[in-house]
């Protein structure tokens, strides 16, 4: 193995006295594993070759634009079309065929409980304009894994970064014993290719699934994408054309922003207000037995993906991604939260995984 390749796949070990242990790989800016009090909380490959050829973004940093950009293009503020590299049919997914998850990040500094990674994405990388410089800090603070992103550009571009860990808080084999709660009133409807079809709609507007009830009671019905109360990750959330039209299973962006908050978000981006964008909010909770994960972020959306397309050595639906991020296809939707980063601005977002 070449020295450069060896370095890219050499795990950086982070740990603290609270019981958190995290492995980070420079390749893909990847959180290779999270252990909480000795138990694995995420899926993880056993060897570097599987990371190198991974098609599932296993624990990696998705970018330059996480999620989808329709037809692999968008118009910039001057009305000019920017053509991107397509890698999911006609569309761009997670930054393109050689997105950040396939690039090796530089280790700028590290200690027992923190590592700072750096990546420079060249002008034209996967079609995206501007030389983008990104700093990612992964830090362990008590029972939290804190991920912070900072980025600057020398030319107008679009940015949307997220972490893509697959969580399994149980025996690592199934999600059917997990309960998920998402603190969102609205969700983005999508077409068969995962592209948003409208503004967010109320979560209760989707098809219904059986809810929890005592054995002697008739089970109440709950909208399929309504997670305002904790819900089992049952088979109704798997791939189906019959139940709610979930052709890809649960793979949707949940949003909390009201109309006023969305207007404030756009104003904050225009004014480069770091204060508003770094306000953390609780987005979701995942539970299995005595284990619990809380996902907090400054991001305006949460993509919940039930791992429908996981492949060997894993099985479909073996892990769930809870990806705090901007809304899919925002570069093509002026009514969505802005994804544009200007020369005089700084992209700044944070994700926190809190374990109990």
User: Any idea which residue has 């280790």 for tokens?
Assistant: 107
Q: How many CA atoms lie within 13 A of 245 on its CB side?
A: 10
Q: Which of 24-38, 122-136, 220-234, 254-268 has the lowest mean pLDDT?
A: 254-268
The answer to whether the CB of 356 falls within 8 A of the CB of 80 is no
Average pLDDT, stretch 274-286? Answer: 78
Q: What's the confidence (pLDDT) of residue 79?
A: 95
The model's pLDDT over 184-194, given as tens digits with 9 standing for 90+, comes to: 999 999 999 99
Q: What's the confidence (pLDDT) of residue 47?
A: 86
Is residue 134 within a helix (H) or strand (E), and if so which, with residue range? strand 132-141
Q: Are strands 291-297 and 301-305 parallel, antiparallel or unpaired?
A: unpaired
User: Any idea which residue has 């700093």 for tokens?
Assistant: 135
Average pLDDT, stretch 204-215? Answer: 56
The model's pLDDT over 143-197, given as tens digits with 9 standing for 90+, comes to: 999 999 999 999 999 999 999 999 999 988 999 999 999 999 999 999 999 999 9
Is the pLDDT reported for residue 76 higher than 80? yes
The answer to whether the CB of 11 falls within 8 A of the CB of 25 is yes
Kindly list the domain boundaries of the chain, sorted by start residue: 3-355
Is the pLDDT reported for residue 93 higher than 50? yes
Is the pLDDT reported for residue 49 higher than 60? yes
Tokens (6 digits) for 209: 């699934």
Q: What's the confidence (pLDDT) of residue 270?
A: 59
Average pLDDT, stretch 61-80? Answer: 97
User: Any idea which residue has 């109309």 for tokens?
Assistant: 259
Work out the number of other CB atoms within 10 angstroms of the CB of residue 136. Answer: 23
User: Any idea which residue has 């429908």 for tokens?
Assistant: 308
Q: How far is CA 55 from the centre of its chain?
A: 15
End-to-end CA distance of the chain: 39
Tokens (6 digits) for 38: 């000795």
Q: Which of 18-32, 104-118, 171-185, 261-275 has the lowest mean pLDDT?
A: 261-275
Model confidence at 206, pLDDT cuts 50, 70, 90, reads confident
Is the pLDDT reported for residue 212 higher than 60? no
Model confidence at 214, pLDDT cuts 50, 70, 90, reads very low
* SS3 assignment, position 204: helix
Is residue 13 within a helix (H) or strand (E), and if so which, with residue range? strand 12-15
Model confidence at 274, pLDDT cuts 50, 70, 90, reads low
Q: What is the pTM of this model?
A: 0.93
Q: What's the confidence (pLDDT) of residue 246?
A: 87
Q: What's the confidence (pLDDT) of residue 217?
A: 38
Q: What's the confidence (pLDDT) of residue 240?
A: 85
Q: What's the confidence (pLDDT) of residue 220?
A: 46
Is residue 261 within a helix (H) or strand (E), and if so which, with residue range? helix 259-271
Which of 304, 11, 317, 16 shows the shortest CA–CA distance to 168?
A: 317
Measured at the alpha carbon of residue 270, what is the angle toward residues 268 and 275, in degrees to the nearest 5? Answer: 25
The answer to whether the CB of 84 falls within 8 A of the CB of 127 is yes
User: Any idea which residue has 């950040």 for tokens?
Assistant: 100
CATH, domain 3-355, list 3.40.50.280, 1.50.10.20, 2.70.98.10, 3.40.250.10: 2.70.98.10
The answer to whether the CB of 11 falls within 8 A of the CB of 23 is yes
Q: What's the confidence (pLDDT) of residue 6?
A: 81
Q: In this structure, which long-range contacts are made by residues 208-216, counting pairs with CB atoms below 8 Å and at least 24 apart in sequence?
A: 209/234, 209/236, 209/237, 209/243, 209/244, 210/234, 210/236
113 phi/psi in degrees, rounded to 5: -120, 10
Measured distance CA(237)–CA(44) in Å, rounded = 23
Is the pLDDT reported for residue 276 higher than 60? no
Is residue 179 within a helix (H) or strand (E), and if so which, with residue range? strand 179-182
Q: What's the confidence (pLDDT) of residue 265?
A: 67
The answer to whether the CB of 73 falls within 8 A of the CB of 81 is yes
């Amino acid at each position: 193995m070449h020295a450069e390749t060896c370095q890219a796949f050499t795990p950086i070990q982070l740990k603290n006295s609270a019981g958190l242990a995290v492995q980070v790989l420079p390749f893909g800016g990847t959180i290779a594993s999270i252990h909480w009090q000795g138990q694995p909380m995420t899926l993880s490959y056993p060897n570097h070759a599987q990371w190198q050829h991974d098609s599932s973004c296993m624990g990696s940093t998705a970018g330059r634009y996480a999620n989808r950009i329709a037809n692999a293009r968008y118009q910039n503020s001057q009305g000019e079309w920017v053509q991107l590299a397509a890698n999911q049919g006609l569309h761009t997914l997670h930054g393109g065929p050689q997105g950040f998850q396939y690039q090796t990040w530089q280790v700028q500094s590290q200690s027992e409980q923190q590592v700072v990674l750096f990546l420079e994405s060249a002008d034209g990388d996967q079609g995206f304009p501007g030389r983008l410089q990104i700093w990612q800090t992964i830090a362990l603070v008590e029972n939290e894994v804190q991920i912070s992103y900072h980025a600057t550009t020398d030319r107008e571009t679009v940015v949307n970064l997220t972490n893509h860990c697959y969580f399994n808080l149980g025996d690592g084999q199934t999600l059917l014993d997990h309960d998920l709660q998402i603190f969102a009133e609205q969700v983005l409807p999508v077409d068969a290719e995962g592209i948003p079809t409208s503004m967010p709609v109320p979560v209760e507007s989707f098809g219904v699934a059986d809810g929890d009830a005592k054995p002697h009671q008739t089970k109440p019905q709950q909208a399929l994408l309504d997670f305002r109360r904790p819900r089992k990750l049952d088979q109704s959330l798997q791939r189906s054309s019959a139940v709610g039209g979930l052709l890809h299973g649960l793979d949707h962006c949940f949003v909390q922003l009201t109309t006023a908050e969305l207007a404030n978000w756009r104003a904050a981006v225009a004014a480069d207000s770091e204060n508003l964008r770094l306000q953390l909010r609780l987005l979701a909770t995942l539970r299995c037995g005595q284990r619990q994960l809380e996902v907090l972020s400054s991001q305006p959306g949460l993509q919940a993906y039930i791992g429908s397309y996981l492949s060997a050595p894993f099985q479909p639906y073996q892990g769930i991604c809870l990806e705090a991020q901007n809304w899919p296809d925002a570069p093509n939707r002026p009514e969505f939260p802005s994804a544009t980063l200007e020369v005089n601005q700084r992209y700044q977002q944070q994700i926190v995984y809190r374990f109990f």
